[in-house]
Structures are given as C-alpha cells and as structure tokens.
Amino acid sequence: MNSTTFKNLVLFSTLILLFSCKSVRTVDFEKPVDTKTKPITFQTKQIYRLENVGVYASNQFDGARLNGFERVNDSTATVIILPENEP
C-alpha cells in the first residue's frame, strides 16, 4: 500500500468516524400521554414455529417483544409485535 492510498484511507476512516458520532434527536410530543395507570399486557414467552418452512422465532429472552408469528405464503411470514400498554 503506497502512502497516498494510506492517507486516503485514514482520511476516509476519520470522516466516517466524525459523521457517525452524532447525538440522538429527541422527539417532543404536543400532548404527552401518561401510561403509568394503564394496565400492562404480558406476553407469553414461547418459541413460535413455522414447521413446514423450518423457521422459528423466540421471545424467550429479556427485552423481547414478540406476540405472534404467522405464515403468509411459502416465502413470507408476519411478525406480530404489540406494545406492553397504550394510551
């Protein structure tokens, strides 16, 4: 690798690093909704199976949100993800 290629690689890597290190934007809601008093819907922890296509999905780990897994056709499946609670 010659010095020009190395310098270009370092410059490119530095630019990518600088532009990828930005803060997350916040979203302000016009009317905040308090869901503290809303009931929480718990999900059933299980392994969802589409046996005939050999595909499996699981929500058996912390933070998982998976409430359903259904076959649409031979190449498509629908994943159902519901919130714990809603306004």
**Could you tell me if residue 85 is inside a domain?**
no
pLDDT of 4: 87
- What is residue 35's predicted lDDT score, i.e. its pLDDT? 84
* Max intra-chain CA distance, the chain: 65
Number of domains observed in the structure of the chain: 1
Going 32 to 34 to 39 to 45, the CA torsion angle's sign is positive
Q: Give the residue with greater pLDDT, 32 vs 68.
A: 68
Q: Where in the sequence is the domain holding 35, given as residue range(s)? A: 3-80
Look up residue 20 and give its DSSP letter: H
87 domain residue, yes or no: no
CA–CA dist 22, 81 (Å, integer):
29
- pLDDT given for residue 47 in this prediction: 96
List, for residues 1-58, the tens digit of each pLDDT value.
678 888 889 898 888 887 777 777 888 878 888 888 888 888 999 999 998 889 999 9
Map residue 56 onto helix, strand or coil. strand
